[in-house]
Chain A
Amino acid sequence: MDTIMDNTPQTEETPAEFAVAPPHKTRPGFLPIDTNTFDRCFISVVCFVAIHLLWMRFIESFIPLVMATVISLVLAVIIVRWG
Chain B
Amino acid sequence: MKSNRLGWGFLSPTLIILAITGFLPFLYVVYIGFFDWNIFAAQKGLVYTGANNYRRLVFDADFLRSLWYTIKFTFWAVSSELILGFALAQLLTKDFPGKTFFRIIHALPLMIAPIAVGALWRLLVIPGFGPIWYVLEEWFGIEYRIGASTSQAFITTVLMDIWHWTPFVTLTMLAGLTSVPKDPVESAMVDGANQWQVYRYITIPMMMPIILTTVFIRIMDALRIVDEVYMLTGGGPGDATRYIGLHIFRVVFPKTDYGYGSATSLLTLYFTIVFCWLLFVAISTSQKNS
Q: Taking beta carbons and an 8 Å cutoff, which residues of A are in contact with B? A: 12-15, 17-18, 21, 33, 42, 46, 49-50, 52-53, 56-57, 60, 65
Contact = CB atoms under 8 A, between A and B. Distances in A.
A56 B58 contact: yes
A21 B209 CA distance: 15
B197 interface: no
A33 B175 contact: no
Interface residues of B, number: 22
Given A18-B283, A33-B285, A42-B277, A52 B209 contact: no
Give 6 closest A-B pairs by Cβ, nearest first: A12-B179, A57-B58, A15-B213, A56-B58, A56-B55, A53-B58
B287 to A, nearest CB: 6
B54 to A, nearest CB: 6
Interface of B: 51, 54-55, 58-59, 175-176, 179, 209-210, 213, 267, 270, 273-274, 277, 280-281, 283-285, 287
Contacts, number: 42
Given A13-B179, A18-B284, A21-B284, A46 B277 contact: yes
19 contacts: A12-B176, A13-B179, A14-B209, A15-B210, A15-B213, A17-B213, A18-B213, A18-B284, A18-B287, A21-B284, A42-B277, A46-B273, A46-B274, A52-B54, A53-B267, A56-B51, A56-B58, A60-B55, A65-B51
A75 to B, nearest CB: 16
A78 B176 CA distance: 41
Which one of A50, A53, A60 has the greatest number of beta carbons of chain B within 10 Å? A53
Given A12-B175, A17-B213, A56 B54 contact: yes
Contacts of B210: 12, 15
Contacts of A57: 58-59
A43 to B, nearest CB: 9
A15 B54 contact: no
